[in-house]
Amino acid sequence: DVKVTQSSRYLVKRTGEKVFLECVQDMDHENMFWYRQDPGLGLRLIYFSYDVKMKEKGDIPEGYSVSREKKERFSLILESASTNQTSMYLCASSARGLDTQYFGPGTRLTVL
């Protein structure tokens, strides 16, 4: 079974803090994705990566950056957290050439 894990289930941070969200997958998947999910807005793609050290902007990259130093790990960074970044953050992965994405458990981030 595909397993995608995320570093925290719940996180509370203060405005202006730098926040790191980590995602690890154990299926040797090439593709990894970061989404945020908000009521009424659905799942929105922040960034994705097709390979180590590669990254592409999704639909809403502003205020975020990512890092992929190892194939199994994809990190989302909030350089200076703001209250409008309070959300559920979901990581997903898929194999090269395949569309099926598998999700991690999510991190509910609250920025005060």
Partner 1 sequence: QKEVEQNSGPLSVPEGAIASLNCTYSDRGSQSFFWYRQYSGKSPELIMFIYSNGDKEDGRFTAQLNKASQYVSLLIRDSQPSDSATYLCAVNQDAGNMLTFGGGTRLMVKP
CB-based burial label for 1 (10 Å; 0-12, 13-18, 19+): exposed
Distance in Å, CB of 17 to partner 1, minimum: 24
19 or 48: whose CB is closer to partner 1?
Answer: 48
- Integer Cα distance of 12 and 71 in angstroms: 28
Q: Is 34 in the site for partner 1 (CB under 8 A)?
A: no
DSSP H helical ranges for 1-112: none
- Integer Cα distance of 6 and 74 in angstroms: 10
- Using CB under 8 A, pick the residue from 34, 48, 64, 74 that binds partner 1: 48
- Using CB under 8 A, pick the residue from 1, 40, 62, 84 that binds partner 1: 40
- Using CB under 8 A, pick the residue from 34, 55, 76, 104 that binds partner 1: 104
